[in-house]
Structure 1
Amino acid sequence: PDAPERTEVLGRLAIAPHLLDSALDADEISRASFSTDCLSIIWKQPKNVSIQEQLKFDVGSMGLFLQRGQLTVILSECPPSFTSAEFQGSRCARDALLKLLDHTIVHYLGHLKVIKQITVELGSKITFSMENQYLLQMLALAESLIYYINAIEANGGVLAKLESHAQQLGLDAQRLGVLHDLVADNQQCARQARIYSDVVSGLMDTRGTIINNNVSVLLKKLTLISIIFLPLNLLASIGGMSEFSMMTMGIDWKISYSLFLLCLVLLGWGSWHALVHLLETRQRRGRHVMSPGRRTGKDQVPHVMER
């Protein structure tokens, strides 16, 4: 809201200016405060996903003020649609408040489902990647999950406070049951966010190792190609001089140079297989040395049979 709207809101709701500032501050923590005729809630909600250089899931704040049978919602972006099916059947402001809180929890669960799908897709791309682009996107997802966990758990504190002041809020048995369901859904949402955060954080190092291994394999292949072409370049340089033409002057140049090219191909093919076989043999010997051997002779533990 701009300056005239802020003045109008402060005058109509008769609330403290810091509550309005808190409702528009994205870094404000969730809390609930009670007065004689007003319930003030600072609630954390997920923002719309921003796709710029990388995916980013962030959270924002909104203010909920319940007084004199009216619910006032103050937020800077992402206004909810109170005409949707989620808010059908609201008979009073308390019903609208509970449905709005439920709408936010469902919004969190939807984003967590998207984060899981993106994590699986990034994991499959990282398996064959040699750049850190996808790894940086996964790091951004891990950071977003931390913000989500903080916001969801803070909202859980607000729900617990509302549950303890249900009589003061004038909630009947049906609305109190809805509030109990909101507490359980929010706990499940927080648990799911923590699981996703642990999985993403735990696999970050492993997927970084996969990228390093892909680069190492590529460098190994390039090194083999360089080693093979080094003698081939030397022989090709010598064969391309006039001495080779003088040595094969009795043979048609088409036949002589074709045979020379065939020898180079066979030499390169043989060098490639010889180097690959040598490297594989050394790797097998290294694994055999590191693996524990069997006990024989005096190293065996005798089996003692007791009667």
Structure 2
Amino acid sequence: MIEGYGIQSGALQQAPQDKASVWLCVAPDAAEQRVLQGSLGIGAQALESSLDPDEVARIEIKANHLFLIWKRPESFDGRAFNVSSFGVVLSEQRLVVICASNSLLSSLASETALKGPLDVLMALLAESVHHYLGHLRVVKQVAREIQQQFTRTMDNQQLAQMYNLSESLVYYVNAIQSNGAVLNLLRSHGQRHGFSAGQLDALNDLVIENEQSYQQARIHAKVFANLIESRGNLANNGMNLALRKLTLINVVFLPLNLIAGIGGMSEFSMMTSGVPWWWSFPALIVGMTLLGAAMVVALRRMA
């Protein structure tokens, strides 16, 4: 799907493609890709890179345009935070956005200070950076909830969620870091090619906010890694305590079983033949009880 937009009164409005300064290309099919290659001169490699969700963020500066790949966060699906890529071809008169989902320009509906294609691009990048920051706040809340559940038994679903979030943060850290490199290169390009002071200030703000989100993502990734490690240590500690109790029970009852086995045979009756059985057997039980209690006290002191 290919849609055209124009900038009127500082806002994006749909416009015919021959008058559009902003093109949105959502998952273009083969015919639409031929239109993009023929009418706008976009190469096949740029199209393929823009639609590849695993493409690394980068920027390529050409003679009459620049091409960049940007990593943006996807909506949270309740299990993990995912990232995807979209491509942008920017020239003086036109901005072409190539993506796999139709959720990019809809976020700019409230913008009222757009003047040209470059402003649209910077608004897209700013929305993406703010989206990362919003997701990181959700990650922080989830981490707190998981920490509160550490005192209780966690089922497999909760453990799987913790592992998924930890993996998501690894991808977040990588995506935000590569986006930061793109912003730095774009700022350097703007300083050399006459970006306005306001645009350079906006780029500087984006660089700072992106660095803040990168640091937060690193901290949250470390927190989740520590949570996973702590959960494993707690499980091992619980297993060690259970084995210790079982070992204590075995150590106490092994000699008692031996004595009980001897008492259940004729040797005990022979040794206590001169004592009535209603005295000898209760005395055996009392002696075994006292021996077991003494062994428990001794083992606890040794531990």
Structure 2 length-normalised TM: 0.69
Q: Choose which of 64, 72, 75 in structure 1 pairs with 2:99.
A: 75
- The alignment-based identity, stated in percent, is 38
Give the 3-state SS of the residue equivalent to 2:183 in structure 1: helix
Q: Choose which of 109, 112, 137 in structure 2 pairs with 1:84.
A: 109
Q: Distance in 2 between matches of 1:102 and 1:139?
A: 29
Q: 2:122 is aligned with what amino acid?
A: L
Q: Which residue of 1 aligns with 2:212?
A: 188
Q: Distance in 2 between matches of 1:56 and 1:5?
A: 33
Give the 3-state SS of the residue equivalent to 1:185 in structure 2: helix
1:161-192 residue CA offsets vs partner (Å, 9 max, x unmatched): 11111145431111111111111111111111
Give the 3-state SS of the residue equivalent to 2:123 in structure 1: helix
Q: Distance in 2 between matches of 1:66 and 1:107?
A: 22
2:66 matched to 1:39?
A: yes
The structure-2 alpha-carbon separation of the partners of 1:175 and 1:183, relative to structure 1 and needing over 3 Å to count, comes to: same
| 8 Å Cα contact 2:108/2:123 also seen in 1 | no
1:176-209 residue CA offsets vs partner (Å, 9 max, x unmatched): 1111111111111111111111111123111122
Give the 3-state SS of the residue equivalent to 2:96 in structure 1: strand
2:119 matched to 1:95?
A: yes
Query: Gapped runs of 5+ residues in structure 1?
Result: 232-270, 287-307
Q: Which residue of 1 aligns with 2:166?
A: 142
Q: Distance in 2 between matches of 1:40 and 1:127?
A: 51
Q: 1:202 is aligned with what amino acid?
A: N
1:255-305 residue CA offsets vs partner (Å, 9 max, x unmatched): xxxxxxxxxxxxxxxx9xx98x9768744542xxxxxxxxxxxxxxxxxxx
Query: Gapped runs of 5+ residues in structure 2?
Result: 1-26, 258-288
Q: 2:179 is aligned with what amino acid?
A: N
Give the 3-state SS of the residue equivalent to 2:42 in structure 1: coil
Q: Which residue of 1 aligns with 2:46?
A: 19
1:222-245 residue CA offsets vs partner (Å, 9 max, x unmatched): 9999x99xx9xxxxxxxxxxxxxx
| 8 Å Cα contact 2:70/2:85 also seen in 1 | yes
The structure-2 alpha-carbon separation of the partners of 1:213 and 1:69, relative to structure 1 and needing over 3 Å to count, comes to: same
Q: 2:217 is aligned with what amino acid?
A: A
| 8 Å Cα contact 2:107/2:127 also seen in 1 | no
Q: 2:65 is aligned with what amino acid?
A: C
Q: CA RMSD in A?
A: 3.1
Structure 1 length-normalised TM: 0.68
CA drift at 1:82: 4.5
Q: 1:12 is aligned with what amino acid?
A: S
